[in-house]
Amino acid sequence: MLKKSANYRGQLLYGDKLAHFHTLGVGQKLGYIREILEEEYGDEFSRSRVAKKCGLTHQGQYHLEEKSKKKPRERTLNKLLEIYNIPHSLLKDNNDNPKSRFRIDPAPIYIGKPEDRALYLKDVVEQQASMEDSLRNYTPSADDLLEVDFEMIAYIPDTPLIHKRGRYARRVRLTSEDIQMLEGLIETQIEIIASRREALEKLRQEDDYWGYTRS
């Protein structure tokens, strides 16, 4: 669990909530995100105010979030992405990904205003540094060593499952405390990398959008 160093708002989608989010259609995802933002920031993200900002009626916004099975018009979609401060990739249809017998937990997603996202990312980086310091200063006990098969599976969307035993798998002897520390470290690293990539992708999309607008 990420410890906040400041009183900023926003929510992190992860685990079962994030898995459920990826089962929704585009309109439902937009509604889900708006409801989170309204819960965090109040009326400025109410259905009526958002509808007015993107040129829809209240009924049109309701239909988009609750009833529509189609993507909104490009102009409306781009405006909503700007209001919600989210990348277009977040709305990707999860059915585009190949099925696998392995459970693949999607990367956590932060929902909030840009200034709050910056504080969140700062906390993530600082927590990573703290965990790395703890790991450097950690002295494992020789008691209760367990023989563990350590294996990593790299899964890339739209490609077959990548499973390189020779590079990612080995057998080691660890204590149960070692295993818990590794799990926490790996989870934090994944969250940091995913958050940075998400922020970079959003910046790239904004650059592409404004470049297209100017041209």
Give the per-residue pLDDT at 183.
78
Residue 149, domain member (yes or no): no
Q: Which residue has the higher pLDDT, 183 or 30?
A: 30
Give the per-residue pLDDT at 162.
44
pLDDT, the chain, mean: 76
Whole-number Å distance between alpha carbons of 192 and 46: 30
Q: Which residue has the higher pLDDT, 201 or 26?
A: 26
Total number of domains in the chain: 1
Give the domain extent around 66. 11-137+181-214
Residue 155, domain member (yes or no): no
- Most confident range, picked from 33-37, 119-123, 155-159, 185-189: 33-37
Position 47 confidence tier, pLDDT thresholds 50, 70, 90: very high
Residue 188, domain member (yes or no): yes
Residue 148, domain member (yes or no): no
Contact 51, 61 (CB under 8 A): yes
Neighbours of 35 (CB within 10 A): 15
Per-residue pLDDT of 92-108, as tens digits, reads 765 544 444 444 456 78
Q: Under DSSP, is residue 195 helix (H, G, I), strand (E, B) or coil?
A: helix
Q: What is the DSSP letter of 141?
A: -
Q: Which residue has the higher pLDDT, 1 or 63?
A: 63
* Mean pLDDT, residues 20-46 taken together: 93
Residue 163, domain member (yes or no): no
Residue 3, domain member (yes or no): no
User: With 80 as the cut, is the pLDDT of residue 23 above it?
Assistant: yes
0.75 exceeded by pTM? no
Per-residue pLDDT of 122-149, as tens digits, reads 888 887 788 777 767 766 555 555 666 6
Q: Which residues contact 66 (CB under 8 A, 6 or more apart)?
A: 27, 28, 31
Residue 157, domain member (yes or no): no
**Range scoring the smallest mean pLDDT among 57-61, 81-85, 155-159, 190-194:** 155-159
* Mean pLDDT, residues 155-177 taken together: 55
Q: Among candidates 36, 38, 45, which has minimal Cα distance to 111?
A: 36
Residue 162, domain member (yes or no): no
